[in-house]
Structure 1
Amino acid sequence: MRARLPLLLLSAGTAVLYLWRLGDSGWANAYYSAAAQAGAESWHAWFFGATDPAGAITVDKAPAATWVMGLSARLFGVNAWSILAPQALMGVASVWLLHAAVRRAAGEAAGLIAGAVLALTPVAVLMFRFNNPDALMVLLLVAGAYGTVRATEEASARWLALAGAAVGFAFLAKMLQAFLVLPAFGSVYLAFAPATWWRKVRHLAAALGAVVVAGGWWVLAVELTPAGSRPYVGGSQGDSVLELALGYNGLGRLTGEEIGSVGGGGRGSSGWARLLGAEMGGQIAWLLPTSLVLLAAGWWAGRATERIGLALWGGWLAVTAAVFSFMNGIIHAYYTVALAPAIGAVTGIGAVALWRRRREPVAAAALSGALAVTALQCYLLLLDWSAPLAAVVLVLGLVGAVGLFLAAAAPAAAVVPVAVVAALLGPGAYSVATAATPHSGAIPSAGPAPANRSGGLVLVGPGGATGNVRGGGGMGGLLSAPTPGDELVALLRDSEGRTWAAAAVGSNNAAGYQLGSGAPVMAVGGFNGTDPAPTLEEFQELVRSGRIHYFLGGAMMPAETGSDAAERIADWVAETFTATTVDGVDVYDLTAGAQR
């Protein structure tokens, strides 16, 4: 029991940090909260990931994350805690699994360091307290890494297949982003598993099959279901999951050719400076330069199992960082949570490998330099937020770096605590500030406020949006959800017998009205309002059949590409019906007959 006490304390501390005042964020991302609400009311909506119980259109991702939230909401009611708590528990599980995976490669100390770094990475605190799909994806990818570690130790086809299944299911959370770890997983198994090349190739082929089955069964189910018997696939222009996965959520993110985008999506300037720049630095860059130092030095100092671990997690880090740095499509700072497990693992493995050889001048110098880089990076990241704390971290880091350089003579009991505090105080304080700050909307940002700050060693702020683009939609917009007033809520609830109480352009507008009233609201045009769902003719037929009671008006963001069906619908409603103003929102009664 005593041997497991540090892990228990780490897990308990992570749970407190991730669950503390969790309900303050309310619906967080109302887009996914509305899908969870829909799934709690309708199994049909739950399976397809629809944003309303009647199943007009799906979220623009596969629905694995909304499955979890929908089940929780079905069990515990639709509220902030039932929707957000599953992500927090996924965070605790991710820390535990990361510790388990790293411990097998480099021992208990390395596992604890890795888990602590993940737990205290600000963007991880943000996303494990939020309801975007990233939390589930990270958990599944860490599970896949653990399976790969076990498989590589034993040349086990079973463990490798389990790793493949985890990655495949992660595809159902965040689509093609989940596959960025596959090059590292496959290369490590091929290079280090104790088996013949032919046997390893067979195992990899079977694991790839597991990826396809775990990620493809739902895609096949949707593609085989007649379009009239399921919701429209949000985010696609052709009502196709394959188009969504390969286009808007796939290659389009690399090339910038995302059909249906309305712009303002945080593309920014590509290049290595992006991860250290103003938009992303405070999210992930605290130990990023340090991990690169420890990756190289740890490979030199490490044992065979440690090198395997560094190859696995270093490969994950390198591929994911390269893609995030150079992709030309929509990218948001919170995507960088996918780097946090790899940074934690590399830091833990590299630090332990070097500490073991600390009496050698090269190892001592590498340890000292890594901590000095950490102190400088954290100082720069903290400077705009808390100059006194930045100074404390810098001083502690430099004192610790001197101690590590003299590690052969300095007592470990004095050097190690100073080094650990110096490395984790900055991101830890920023993480506590993140947990203490409510976050909502489509593009959350870690920290005490979603503002740009200096990025650290590379003081370059990438151009582009930071997630503050707003389009009016009544009281909401493209990226934020409205909170309907009491009179409007009463109006929407008085729509029994209608399939949809109302329709509104854009998923966040619809989500706000639906969550506030509990009545189903159709998201015309999907998230961006640029999906051809429904078409004007389909909407007119729904109105004639009395299935939609109200249309809630508001301004829209202009579309760069994609369908103009939502704009045409809004124009037709405005030309055909008379608006009344309810709680500041233009409301059109579609059951009153043509008024103009």
Structure 2
Amino acid sequence: MALGGLLVATGVLYLWNLGASGWANAYYSAAVQAGSQNWTAMLFGSSDAANAITVDKPPAALWVMDLSARLFGFNPWSVLVPQALMGVAAVAVLYAAVRRASGPGAGLLAGAVLALTPVAALMFRFNNPDALLVLLLVIAAYCTQRACEKGASRWWLIAAGVAIGFGFLTKMLQALLVLPAFAAAYLLAGHRPVGRRILDALTAAGAAVVSAGWYLLLVELWPKESRPYIGGSQTNSITELTLGYNGIGRLTGNEPGGLGNLNHDVGWGRLFGFGMGADIAWLLPAAVICLAAGFVLTRGRPRTDRTRASLILWAGWLVVTALVFSYMNGIVHPYYTVALAPAIGAGIGIGSNLLWQNRRDVRSATAMAGAVLVTTVLAAVLLARHSDWMPWLRAAVAVGGVGATVLLLVVGRLHRRAARLVAALAVTSCLAGPAAFSVATAASPHSGALPSVGPSRHGGPPGGFPGGGLLSSPNPHPDLIRLLTTDAGQFTWAAAVVGSNNAAGYQLASGAPVMAVGGFNGTDPSPTLEQFVADVQAGRIHYFVVGPRLMMGRSGTETTESAAIRDWVEARYLELTVDGTVVYDLTQGAGNLTGGA
């Protein structure tokens, strides 16, 4: 019943007023629209049903939304509900994993921590790939734990490899950050002889390679002229996308087609800073304390102890992922930290359970008190960054935290019923801040490519802001929509515009394919000027819409393809302004045809 209550509460939190966000991330919603209309677009994750270019991620997360849209129709609910259900499933699987190591109480606490982490409340209500990635990684962790148990079939470890492989097809190399932890847990704590453990680990790695590699092989072998351009790459290669823009470039900042190293907060403090702190930092120190204490308390147990194997797995997940997020120099966004939430929840659930069992030992009592004190002080700091929002909460958390800290120091001497009340006070004080922030996050509509946690700070239409921009999509006025939809069926693309976010806004509003020139950042060399001119001359593109200039620009004397295309159109066709937006009709006579293409 307690688990059922937790899952129902999680479902309410993640589903409540979900439609207020409209298309949420229009970039991915437009790809779902395309995939619901065209099977090739679905297979490759195209931005439009005419298959000009793909999104800059592999399409596994889109496949789930595509199927939902095909079953229930394309609308914001069919796009967003699968994400919310993935969040409920992730809480359930995390509960199951922690329960096997430390019992149902620890599992409930771990699940509650995951559900009430603000960035989880954000991303399980949003249509980025992170929701599916987190679910798959938690499933892989559960399977790895089962593989470590006595008498377990090697198929559990193979299943973990398959889950990681499909995680790769969701967000590429980020899915591999958990591999060191999973390998360490099985090789150090598995019941099989060491030789068999090594062979099993290699088999699981092979399963991961096969479950991810088939798609990479399919894309690379597919004739390029009959599939969309691979967005995010500079050579129309998914291998380059994997190793470059979505791979090593994320660590070094040298990303082909990226915007360069824009980070100024690299270092251990990034997870607590103004960018990421409110998303994930609330319970991070407590998780570290609980995990460290767990290793101390299980140091004398057998090598194959189930609880210690679980500690190795979740601690490794937390440390490796936290270090990468803290020191990566490429594109990194605060919402990426949702990948830390399961490890934080598991660490607190397992470690606090061990500490509570040993609460009569002054060292365990001190560790619990220290974790509560650090957590509530940190909550007060994070809440102070939003001082005009629920100012009383900061004081309540501080008072409750100090009281719980003092009582935990002597909790081993208290009657069992009194001790439970102290535990309840401690848990409530620690979860009050993130829970309130999660509710505020769920109560606020979110759109664009960079959603943020906490109370809403601005208004605006859920589909985007008029005029659009680098990270949000245009919300075109009715006259422009009518212009784009008129005779749209006679053209391959109703319009072309620089940047995928710009294209998404016009495509979602019109329902017709819109070519995203240059992909997400406007920096992909697709189409080339020559290809674009050929499409115009063949009558495939009706309009060119002048959206906001992205950060593509020029580098020295070089000009990107998208900038060259825009210049070519502006120099040759007559300008038409519709509802404040500049549009060029590419089927009408050019204003200046001299000079050729």
Distance 2:421 2:114 in 1: 24
Distance 1:553 1:492 in 2: 13
Aligned twin of 1:262: 259
Unaligned runs of 5+ in 1: 452-471
Superposed, 1:163-178 pairs within 5 Å as 163-178=160-175
TM value normalised by structure 1: 0.94
User: Is the 8 Å Cα contact of residues 573 and 589 (structure 2) preserved in structure 1?
Assistant: yes
DSSP-derived class of the 2:542 partner: strand
Distance 1:214 1:535 in 2: 34
Task: State the AA in 2 paired with 1:222.
Answer: V
Aligned twin of 2:118: 122
User: Is the 8 Å Cα contact of residues 473 and 509 (structure 1) preserved in structure 2?
Assistant: no
Aligned twin of 1:396: 400
Aligned twin of 2:36: 40
Aligned twin of 2:480: 488
Whether 1:160 aligns to 2:157 is: yes
Aligned twin of 2:290: 294
Distance 1:375 1:190 in 2: 37
User: Is the 8 Å Cα contact of residues 473 and 553 (structure 1) preserved in structure 2?
Assistant: no
Superposed, 1:40-79 pairs within 5 Å as 40-79=36-75
Task: State the AA in 2 paired with 1:419.
Answer: A
Whether 1:111 aligns to 2:111 is: no
Aligned twin of 2:450: 443
Distance 1:137 1:174 in 2: 7
Q: 1:199-240 CA deviation, whole Å, 9 max, x = no partner?
A: 111101110011001111111110000110100000000000
Aligned twin of 1:364: 365
Please state how far the C-alpha of 1:572 moved relative to its aligned partner.
0.2
Task: State the AA in 1 paired with 2:42.
Answer: W
Please state how far the C-alpha of 1:295 moved relative to its aligned partner.
1.1
Please state how far the C-alpha of 1:450 moved relative to its aligned partner.
6.4
How many residues end up aligned between the 2 structures? 571
Aligned twin of 1:285: 281
Distance 2:333 2:262 in 1: 6
Task: State the AA in 2 paired with 1:7.
Answer: L
Aligned twin of 2:90: 94
Task: State the AA in 2 paired with 1:259.
Answer: P
Aligned with residue 479 of structure 1, among 467, 471, 474: 471
Distance 1:262 1:329 in 2: 9
Distance 1:210 1:148 in 2: 13
DSSP-derived class of the 2:378 partner: helix
Q: 1:244-268 CA deviation, whole Å, 9 max, x = no partner?
A: 01000000000000111235x8623
Task: State the AA in 2 paired with 1:510.
Answer: A
Aligned twin of 2:218: 221
Q: 1:429-474 CA deviation, whole Å, 9 max, x = no partner?
A: 00000000111111111111469xxxxxxxxxxxxxxxxxxxx998
Distance 1:92 1:136 in 2: 11
Aligned twin of 1:181: 178
Aligned with residue 84 of structure 1, among 80, 86, 99: 80
User: Is the 8 Å Cα contact of residues 466 and 475 (structure 2) preserved in structure 1?
Assistant: no
Aligned with residue 579 of structure 1, among 575, 578, 597: 575
Cα 1:376–1:473 shift into 2, 3 Å? closer
Aligned twin of 2:419: 412
Aligned with residue 133 of structure 1, among 111, 129, 151: 129
Distance 1:240 1:156 in 2: 38
DSSP-derived class of the 2:588 partner: coil
Cα 1:391–1:348 shift into 2, 3 Å? same
Distance 1:85 1:555 in 2: 31
TM value normalised by structure 2: 0.94
Aligned twin of 2:595: none
Aligned twin of 1:28: 24
Q: 1:29-80 CA deviation, whole Å, 9 max, x = no partner?
A: 0000000000000011000000000100000000011111111111112211
Please state how far the C-alpha of 1:308 moved relative to its aligned partner.
1.4
Distance 2:353 2:547 in 1: 57
User: Is the 8 Å Cα contact of residues 489 and 516 (structure 1) preserved in structure 2?
Assistant: yes
Superposed, 1:526-565 pairs within 5 Å as 526-559=519-552, 564-565=560-561
Cα 1:432–1:35 shift into 2, 3 Å? same
DSSP-derived class of the 2:220 partner: helix
Distance 2:273 2:68 in 1: 37
Q: 1:352-373 CA deviation, whole Å, 9 max, x = no partner?
A: 0000010111111111111111
Task: State the AA in 2 paired with 1:230.
Answer: R
User: Is the 8 Å Cα contact of residues 525 and 566 (structure 1) preserved in structure 2?
Assistant: yes
Q: 1:128-161 CA deviation, whole Å, 9 max, x = no partner?
A: 0000000000000000000000001145320000
Aligned twin of 2:461: none
Task: State the AA in 1 paired with 2:362.
Answer: P
Distance 2:24 2:489 in 1: 28
Distance 1:546 1:268 in 2: 46
Distance 2:440 2:217 in 1: 43
Superposed, 1:308-457 pairs within 5 Å as 308-385=309-386, 386-410=390-414, 411-449=418-456
Please state how far the C-alpha of 1:330 moved relative to its aligned partner.
1.0
User: Is the 8 Å Cα contact of residues 499 and 550 (structure 2) preserved in structure 1?
Assistant: no
